[in-house]
């Protein structure tokens, strides 16, 4: 076996009831949920397990909820399997930083709660939008976004997820124009997304500025294992460099396809997705079919992964 990367999902992977089997069966996992409730001062775990779904979907709840579930499942695998690298998709980068020892879990869960609040408040409702573009080549879509930005309204690449799947973000007018003109970039389909704001676009600058103040006060340690940063798709271990990258991440595109390609280039042949859902597993397989991917989103999935990774 080559090298192993732990990867952590971001917003969109949430589901009511996620992590409940780990909470019920494992005192170590249950302790993580209890630590989240204590750190935030309210019963986040109740929202995770009972919903309602629209409350879990609120960005300021979604972000700490997903981090908590990833951290609880990480608690169950970390002593058995050691990663050579870690990475996370957008919000998931904070889970990766907990895994790498950069942030304490409590600091991370409080930070992403505020991050969610800041992102929610950055742009008035209805003024921003996002859309998934399927089948377009990155360069052609970039050119279309630049043309639309000049003619209609700002729109940028926000999530470069895998070949043929890129999310754009920006003004409602700009995104609408990309939905209408997507075929010019070779898109087979362009699907407007139900999101509360134009994430990973320059319109999020107010959120980035507010988050910078929070990040400045956090205790960060150099990473024990390299983190592949969303913003650069390059390994980083310096706490101070990570602090700056986390601010930039709010307005910059998530280079997930590049992250996977970089990890493969660094010798990773086994990816372990830790957290709710299996979104990253699909994106990784579409980026490089040669690698092995394990999805750890339940106790049964954990047992299956450990049977192969730590027999």
Residue with tokens 């390994």: 235
- CA separation (Å) from 122 to 11, 62, 104, 170, 302? 17, 17, 26, 12, 38
Q: Tell me how far CA of residue 226 lies from CA of 4, 95, 243, 246, in angstroms.
A: 12, 13, 14, 15
Report the chain's C-alpha Rg in angstroms: 19
- 238 catalytic? Reply is no
Which is catalytic among the residues 200, 201, 276, 294? 200
Residue with tokens 């609040």: 117
C-alpha torsion sign, points 15, 243, 225, 3: positive
- Rounded to 5 degrees, φ, ψ at 194 are -85, 90
SS3 assignment, position 260:
helix
Measured CA to CA, the distance from residue 201 to residue 190 in angstroms comes to: 18
Report which secondary-structure segment, H or E, holds 184.
none
For residues 250 and 118, give the distance between their C-alpha atoms in angstroms, rounded to a whole number: 10
104 is catalytic: no
Catalytic residue among 90, 95, 169, 201: 90
The dihedral region occupied by 238, where left means phi > 0, alpha psi between -120 and 50, and beta the remainder, is beta
Question: How would you classify the pairing of strands 3-8 and 85-88?
Answer: parallel
Which residues make beta-bridge pairs with 177? none
Report residue 215 as tokens.
Answer: 């990040």
Active site members: 90, 200
């Amino acid at each position: 076996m080559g090298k192993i990367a732990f990867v952590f999902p971001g917003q969109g992977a949430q589901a009511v009831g996620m992590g409940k089997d780990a909470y019920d069966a494992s005192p170590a996992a249950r302790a993580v949920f209890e630590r989240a409730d204590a750190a935030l001062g309210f019963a986040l775990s109740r929202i995770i397990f009972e919903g309602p779904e629209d409350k879990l979907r609120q960005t300021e709840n979604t972000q700490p909820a997903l981090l908590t579930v990833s951290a609880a499942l990480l608690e169950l695998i970390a002593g058995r399997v050691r990663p050579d690298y870690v990475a996370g998709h957008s919000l998931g980068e904070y889970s990766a930083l907990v895994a790498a020892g950069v942030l304490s879990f409590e600091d991370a869960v409080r930070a992403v709660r505020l991050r969610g609040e800041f992102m929610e408040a950055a742009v008035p409702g209805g003024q921003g939008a996002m859309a998934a573009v399927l089948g377009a080549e990155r360069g052609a879509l970039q050119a279309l976004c630049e043309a639309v930005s000049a003619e209609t309204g700002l729109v940028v690449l926000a999530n470069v997820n895998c070949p043929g799947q890129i999310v754009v973000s920006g003004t409602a007018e700009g995104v609408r124009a990309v939905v209408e003109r997507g075929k010019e970039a070779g898109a087979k389909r362009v699907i407007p997304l139900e999101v509360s704001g134009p994430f990973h676009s320059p319109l999020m600058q107010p959120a980035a500025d507010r988050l910078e103040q929070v990040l400045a006060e956090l205790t960060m340690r150099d990473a024990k294992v390299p983190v592949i940063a969303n913003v650069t798709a390059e390994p980083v271990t310096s706490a101070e460099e990570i602090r700056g990258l986390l601010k930039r991440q709010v307005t910059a595109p998530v280079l997930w396809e590049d992250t996977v390609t970089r990890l493969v280039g660094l010798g990773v042949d086994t990816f372990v997705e830790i957290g709710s859902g299996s979104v990253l597993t699909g994106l990784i397989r579409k980026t490089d079919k040669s690698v092995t991917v394990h999805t750890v989103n339940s106790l049964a999935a954990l047992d299956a992964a450990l049977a192969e990774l730590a027999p």
